């Protein structure tokens, strides 16, 4: 583990960490806020955050304003990058493919399959690395925004024993039915749509249900709501789940202004389960 930056913040530490990734076959960076500093005597639970298209690990840590509440509650924030990085990693000229757009899947198609295994990295490798190198306990929750909300939901649905709760801001809930998802899933996974379903929250819930508490916030002024996010499709498949709260926030868009407005409520939602 290589700490490449460390700032004092709200009595804790905001770090940026670099490490070699076996899953992604490249060097990866992630950010972490430790509420009481690095002390093996005081392990804390973790909220994992997954960001959206074009983002890195730095967007959430600098724009969301989450550290104050995490410090108060005693919760670590682990903020992952959105894709593998580096000169040897395949990329694409469009913003919604390649570096910055890993879609939290395990790619099976060339040229992506050697590096683009973000599902394995987030679901398995990164938590194992964090548990080995940082003073955290076994309690984990997961959240994310847009493409990262898609990742948080699919990973939580498929690994319910790993997490206490899941939340999302403006998630891509039904990628098989929107252009962002169709493009990424086809190129990363091939043309067999049955392979796509394992990374589609709506399809996964239809097949497996959702056993974790869920909070979703979606802005009604989000320019991507009608064609890309399809939040109503998620609401439909969860209509009978009593601990799933899908909130439509009037006038809010897709930006980090939206996230900053409601992030405290999401952290406190997760705290009910992480600290139980």
Is residue 39 flagged as an active site residue?
A: no
**Count of domains forming the chain:** 1
Residue 84 token pair: 């593998």
- The single residue of 145, 254, 266, 270 carrying the catalytic annotation is 254
- Other beta carbons within 10 angstroms of residue 50's beta carbon come to 31
- The single residue of 146, 165, 167, 201 carrying the catalytic annotation is 146
State the pLDDT confidence band at 37, using cuts at 50, 70 and 90.
confident
Is residue 200 flagged as an active site residue?
A: no
Residue 38 has pLDDT above 90, yes or no: no
Residues with Cβ within 8 Å of residue 34, at least 6 apart in sequence: 12, 13, 15, 44, 76, 134, 135
CATH number for the domain that contains residue 55:
3.40.50.1820
How do residues 211-229 score in pLDDT, each as one tens digit?
Answer: 999 999 999 999 999 999 9
For residue 216, give the nearest of 180, 165, 162, 271 by alpha carbon: 165
Is residue 150 flagged as an active site residue?
A: no
Measured CA to CA, the distance from residue 168 to residue 173 in angstroms comes to 10
- The single residue of 83, 222, 266, 270 carrying the catalytic annotation is 222
For residue 76, give the nearest of 49, 110, 111 by alpha carbon: 49
Q: What is the mean pLDDT of residues 131-159?
A: 98
Torsion of CA 20, 23, 24, 28, to 10 degrees: -30
The pLDDT of residue 226 is 97
Residue 12, CA distances (Å) to 3, 7, 36, 77 in order: 15, 8, 4, 11
Measured CA to CA, the distance from residue 196 to residue 199 in angstroms comes to 6
Rg over CA atoms, the chain: 17
Q: Which DSSP letter does residue 229 get?
A: I
How do residues 105-122 score in pLDDT, each as one tens digit?
Answer: 999 999 999 999 999 999
Q: Which residue carries 């939580």 as its tokens?
A: 156
Mean pLDDT for all residues in the chain: 97
């Amino acid at each position: 583990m290589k700490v490449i930056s460390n700032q004092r913040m709200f009595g804790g530490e905001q770090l940026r960490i670099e490490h070699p990734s076996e899953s992604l076959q490249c060097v990866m960076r992630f950010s972490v806020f430790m509420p009481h500093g690095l002390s093996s005597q005081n392990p804390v639970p973790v909220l994992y955050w997954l960001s959206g298209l074009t983002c890195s690990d730095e967007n959430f840590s600098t724009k969301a304003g989450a550290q104050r509440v995490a410090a108060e509650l005693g919760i670590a924030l682990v903020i992952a990058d959105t894709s593998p990085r580096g000169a040897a990693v395949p990329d694409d000229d469009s913003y919604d493919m390649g570096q910055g757009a890993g879609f939290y899947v395990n790619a099976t198609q060339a040229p992506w399959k050697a590096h683009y295994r973000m599902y394995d990295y987030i679901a398995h490798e990164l938590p194992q690395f964090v548990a080995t190198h940082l003073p955290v306990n076994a309690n984990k929750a997961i959240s994310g925004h847009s493409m990262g909300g898609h990742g948080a939901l699919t990973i939580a649905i498929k690994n319910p024993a790993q997490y206490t709760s899941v939340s999302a801001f403006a998630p891509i809930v039904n990628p098989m039915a929107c252009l962002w998802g169709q493009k990424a899933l086809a190129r990363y996974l091939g043309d067999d749509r049955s392979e796509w379903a394992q990374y589609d929250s709506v399809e996964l819930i239809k097949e497996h249900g959702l056993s974790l508490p869920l909070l979703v916030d979606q802005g009604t002024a989000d320019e991507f709501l009608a064609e890309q996010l399809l939040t109503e499709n998620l609401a439909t498949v969860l209509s009978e789940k009593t601990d799933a709260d899908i909130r439509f926030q009037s006038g809010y868009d897709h930006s980090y202004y939206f996230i900053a407005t409601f992030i405290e409520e999401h952290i406190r939602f997760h705290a009910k389960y992480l600290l139980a």
